[in-house]
Amino acid sequence: MTSKERFDLTINHRQPDRLVVDFGATSVTGIHVQAIENLRKYYGLEDKPVRVTDPYQMLGEVDQELIEIIGIDVVGAKGKNNSFGFYNHEPLMEYVTPWSQKVLVPEGFQTTKDENGDTLIYPEGDLSNSPSGRMPSTGFFFDAIIRQQPIDEEKLDPEDNMEEYGLVSEADLEYWKVTTQKARATGKAVIAGLGGTALGDIAHIPGIKLKKPKGIRDITEWYMSILIRPEYIRTIFDRQSEIAVENFTRLHQVIGDNVDAVYICGTDFGTQDSTFCAPEQFDDLWLPYYRRINDWIHVHTNWKTFKHSCGAVESFMPHFIEAGFDIINPVQVSAKGMNPVLLKKNYGKDLVFWGGGIDTQKTLPYSTPEKVREEVLRLCDIFAPDGGFVFNTVHNIQANVPVENIVAMVDAIQEFNGKK
C-alpha cells in the first residue's frame, strides 16, 4: 500500500495496512532544527546544516533521508513567503544560531542583537524597519514583538486588520501550481497551507510580516475585543472568509487534486485546564465563517480540512464537527478532559485525530525511552483502530528533547506497524 493509498483510507475512517505518519508537513507538526541535527547524527547521516523551514518557530526540513528512516507518509506544500513576510526558498545562506548550530536560512533572514543579547528579526527582512520578532538569548525560537498603535475607538477600522489578506496573484497561482505538482510527485499524501484563513489565530494577530501593522495587534487587546468589540471581529471574519472562498476558487483551478488536505486555521480555543471562550461564543463568532470556508471546499473539491487548536477543547469537538472540519490537531491528551479513549469513542467517527501520539510537555522531553515507547504504543492502540488517526506528537518537537527519546518514539511507531 502506498502512502497516498494509506492516507486515503485513514482520512475516510477506514483501516489502513499501518499507521499514517507525519513529521514536518505543517507548521504545527514539525521538528525543531536542533532536534533534526541530533537525529541526523544519531542515524549516521551526512553532517550538513539543517535548512530552516519555519523561521518563527525555527522548525527544520525533514529531508528525504529522514522521511525514509522514520517512515513518513505526508508532505507539505508550503507557501512562497514565511510568517515574517520574506521569500522562504533558495537561495539560502548559512546562519549560526544563538545555541551555536549552523543552519541554512533564506536571504531575507536578517537579524540584529539588542543590548541583552536577544536576536531581533525584521518584517520582509528589512533592517530599516522596527523588528517584529525576538528570540531571547537563551531561547530557541522567536516571539512576536507587539507593535500596537494607540487605539482610538472612533477611528477603529476592520480593514486595518485585513491588510495582510487579499486576492491571490497570478504569480502566486503559478507558484502553487508548481509546488503542489512537486509535492504530488513524491507519492506521499499532501497537505497545503494555502493561507488567508487564520480567523483570529494569535500567531497572526501581531502582524509580524507587516512593517507598520494597524488595527488591533496586541494579543490581549484582541481577546478583549471578542467581548467588547464583537461586531469589529465579525466584520473581519466575514470579509476574510469571503476572500478565502474567492482564493480557493482560483487556487483549485490550478491545484486540483494535487492536494489531499488543507490547513485552515490555527486559532487556539483551549488552555491547559479550560477554554478561552464558551462554545456558544464559538457558534456565534467563528462557526458561520468556518462553515463558509469548509462548505465551499467540500462542495467543490476532494480536499479535507484541518483545524489546529491546543488545549482542553473536548467540549468544542461537536462544534468543530458542526463547523465542517474533518481533522483536529494537535489532540492535546495532557490537557483537562482530553481523555483519548473518550475522544476516540465519542468523536472518532467524525474527526480524524492528527496528533496525540505522545505528550510533548512531559513524556517526550523528560521521561525515559522505555516510558516513551509505552506511551506511544498505548495511544496508538487507542487511536488507530478503524482509521482516522495520523501519527504525530502533541505539537512540534522542541529543542533539547533527548535524541534517545525521539528515536524511542520512532522505534515504537515502527513496532506498532510490525516493522520491529
Listed by start position, the domains of the chain span: 3-91+148-416
102-140 pLDDT, tens per residue?
999 999 999 999 999 999 999 999 999 999 999 999 999
pLDDT at 177 (0 to 100): 98
**For the chain, what is the mean pLDDT?**
97
* Contact (CB, 8 A) for 151 and 221: yes
User: What is the bridge-based pairing of β-strands 261-265 and 189-192?
Assistant: parallel
Confidence of residue 51 (pLDDT cuts 50, 70, 90): very high
pLDDT at 403 (0 to 100): 98
201-235 pLDDT, tens per residue?
999 999 999 999 999 999 999 999 999 999 999 99
Q: Which residues of 258-288 are buried (b: 16+ CB within 10 A; e: fewer)?
A: bbbbbbbbbbbbbeeeebbbebebbeebbbe
Quick one: average pLDDT of 4-27? 98
Quick one: average pLDDT of 173-192? 98
pLDDT at 420 (0 to 100): 57
* Contact (CB, 8 A) for 16 and 10: yes
Helix (H, G, I), strand (E, B) or coil at 304: strand
Up-side HSE of residue 125: CA atoms within 13 Å toward CB?
12
Residue 334 has pLDDT above 90, yes or no: yes
Peptide bond into 230 cis (omega under 30): no
Quick one: average pLDDT of 166-188? 97
Residue 272 has pLDDT above 60, yes or no: yes
- In angstroms, the first-to-last Cα distance of the chain is 18
Quick one: average pLDDT of 41-68? 98
Distances in Å between the Cα of 26 and the Cα atoms of 57, 65, 235, 348, 385 are: 12, 18, 28, 22, 24
Confidence of residue 411 (pLDDT cuts 50, 70, 90): very high
| Percent of the chain scoring above 70 in pLDDT | 100
Class of CATH domain 3-91+148-416: alpha beta
